[in-house]
């Protein structure tokens, strides 16, 4: 089967694109992304999709980064396609946000790609991940300890991100380019074995190929496909379990109830998925481990003394397993709700806030005009995409918080805003605040946006933020 036919099969199998789908191709200059650009260009010329343009992000981490940027501009010219290029100080961001270079680079790159998608008014962003990348990701997750959810590795489609080359081997792509004398750049950082992925690629996979199975890449990639299908089934089954009323009393005052007999009746693997859902919501942002889920499962099935889990207490009460968040202190009074929370908010994406009993979601719109049909509701905010700095997050208030309500010249203390709005003192710590990477308040969720992020032009690219109350688990 020809390479382009394999790409076609992947696109059809996972419904990644159709004739009317506008696609942006992310290009780094490496062999995989250059091959992707040429293959998507060919599919465009065959009227099977629409190549809207190319996008390149300069991470400014390598001495050759500027040369790679020029190469990607030349690649776009050779294809007769538009290109959007941006750059960022990834190293500085990693230091400021106390995260790894790889994590900071990934975050900066994906933020840029979403801007590129809006710039080109495209539907999807195509990444050049291959079958080899899938095998590497599976091994990395396996070495770190993961179940079906983690071993599912990279999905062919995740939101607006598509991976048309996930069925292709890296060597096939390079042979495709070499046969056509198409140039690409070599990233020497891929040989740095201090990076775990590179060590798996350069050392572990070749060893497994030589000593155990010459087809190990295909075996591992197939395992990722199996894990992904198993995880989808378990997620669907967990949805059905919770939808059937296995939380008979719902969630009241941070109390969750699960019918013990129903939990005992399901397979152990499904019970773990269900309990992970409930424990994670009750934990209020604290990490929930395999050991915690195992303890909870044992108590649900066998009974026994109450146990303390992250942010909650679990016990058997009659026929139910009951989880209570923020357990009482020694004096019988609720512990102080001074639990500070902060969660990243991707675009598109959502954050479930157990602490506030709500969900905050974000999705992009091509323009303010496209969002005009939304209801005028304080639970919905339409804000400018290009005004904030860095990634969005959702947090609760901090001492000294200020923002600029519309119509007010200058800034106002958030504390004074709450007083003016007659928001009860006990509720103020639970009001979600959407903030940008420099911690500027973008939206006091359910109340007001900051004047600086107000939409002033119908043609501006915008993000739609929504606040939804949790009426129970789903």
Q: How many C-beta neighbours within 10 Å does residue 261 have? A: 11
Span 338-361, pLDDT tens digits: 467 888 888 888 888 877 888 999
Topology, domain 244-325: 3.30.465
Residue 472 pLDDT grade (very low, low, confident, very high; cuts 50, 70, 90)? very low
Is residue 463 over pLDDT 50?
A: yes
Separation between Cα atoms, residue 255 and residue 322, nearest integer Å: 7
Average pLDDT (430-439) is 87
Q: What is the pTM of this model?
A: 0.62
Looking at the structure, give the CATH architecture of the domain made up of residues 342-469.
3-Layer(bba) Sandwich (3.50)
Residue 385's pLDDT is what?
75
* DSSP H stretches of helix in 19-64: 31-45
Residue 328 has pLDDT above 50, yes or no: no
Sheet holding 433-435, edge to edge: 342-345, 392-395, 433-435, 441-444, 448-449
Residue 206 has pLDDT above 90, yes or no: yes
**In terms of DSSP bridges, do strands 255-259 and 50-58 run parallel, antiparallel, or are they unpaired?**
unpaired
Per domain, the residue ranges of the chain are 3-228, 244-325, 342-469
The answer to whether the peptide bond before residue 312 is cis (omega within 30 degrees of 0) is: no
- Extract the runs of DSSP E, i.e. beta strands, from 269-400: 307-309, 312-317, 320-325, 342-345, 349-353, 358-365, 380-384, 392-395
What band does 122 get if pLDDT is binned at 50, 70 and 90?
Answer: very high
The residue with greater pLDDT, 1 or 127, is 127
Q: How far apart are CA 125 and CA 26, in angstroms?
A: 7
pLDDT tens-digit readout, 81-111:
999 999 888 888 888 888 788 888 888 898 9
* Mean pLDDT of the 24-33 span: 95
Q: Which of 75, 40, 31 lies closest to 56, judged by CA?
A: 75
Which CATH fold topology does 3-228 show?
Rossmann fold (3.40.50)
> In angstroms, how far is the first alpha carbon of the chain from the final one?
43
Q: Say what the pLDDT of residue 291 is.
A: 87
């Amino acid at each position: 089967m020809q390479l382009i036919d394999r790409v076609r099969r992947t696109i059809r199998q996972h419904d990644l694109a159709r004739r009317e789908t506008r696609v942006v191709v992310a290009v780094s200059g490496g062999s995989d992304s250059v091959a992707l650009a040429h293959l998507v260009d060919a599919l465009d010329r065959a009227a099977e999709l629409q190549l809207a343009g190319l996008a390149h992000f300069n991470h400014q981490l390598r001495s050759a980064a500027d040369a790679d940027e020029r190469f990607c501009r030349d690649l776009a010219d050779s294809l007769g396609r538009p290109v959007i290029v941006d750059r960022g100080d990834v190293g500085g961001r990693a230091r400021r946000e106390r995260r790894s270079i790889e994590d900071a680079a990934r975050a900066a790159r994906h933020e840029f790609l979403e801007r590129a998608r809006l710039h080109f008014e495209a539907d999807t962003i195509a990444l050049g991940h291959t079958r080899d990348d899938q095998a590497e990701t599976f091994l990395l997750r396996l070495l770190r300890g993961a179940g079906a959810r983690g071993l599912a590795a990279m999905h062919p489609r995740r939101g607006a991100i598509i991976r048309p080359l996930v069925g292709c081997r890296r060597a096939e792509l390079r042979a495709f380019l070499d046969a056509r004398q198409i140039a690409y750049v070599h990233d020497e950082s891929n040989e740095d074995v201090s990076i775990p992925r590179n060590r798996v690629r350069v050392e572990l996979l070749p060893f497994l190929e030589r000593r155990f199975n010459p087809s190990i890449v295909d075996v591992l990639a197939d395992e990722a496909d199996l894990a992904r299908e198993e995880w989808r089934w378990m997620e669907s089954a967990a949805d059905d379990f919770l939808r059937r009323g296995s939380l008979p009393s719902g969630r009241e005052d941070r109390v969750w109830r699960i019918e013990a007999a129903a939990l005992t009746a399901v397979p152990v693997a499904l019970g773990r998925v269900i309990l992970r859902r409930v424990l994670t919501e009750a934990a209020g942002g604290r990490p929930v481990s395999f050991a915690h889920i195992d303890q909870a499962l044992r108590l649900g099935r066998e009974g026994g003394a109450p146990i303390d889990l992250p942010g909650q207490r679990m016990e058997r009460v009659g026929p139910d397993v009951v989880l209570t968040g923020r357990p009482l202190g020694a004096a019988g009074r609720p512990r102080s709700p001074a639990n500070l929370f902060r969660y990243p908010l991707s675009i598109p994406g959502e954050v479930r806030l157990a602490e506030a009993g709500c969900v905050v979601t974000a999705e992009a719109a091509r323009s303010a005009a496209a969002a005009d049909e939304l209801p005028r509701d304080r639970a919905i905010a339409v804000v400018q995409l290009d005004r904030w700095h860095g990634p969005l997050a959702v947090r609760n208030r901090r001492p000294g918080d200020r923002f600029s309500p519309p119509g007010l010249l200058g800034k106002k203390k958030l504390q004074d805003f709450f007083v003016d709005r007659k928001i009860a003192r006990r509720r103020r710590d639970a009001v979600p605040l959407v903030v940008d990477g420099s911690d500027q308040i973008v939206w006091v969720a359910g109340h007001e946006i900051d004047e600086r992020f107000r939409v002033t032009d119908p043609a501006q690219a915008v993000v739609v933020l929504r606040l939804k109350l949790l009426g129970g688990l789903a």
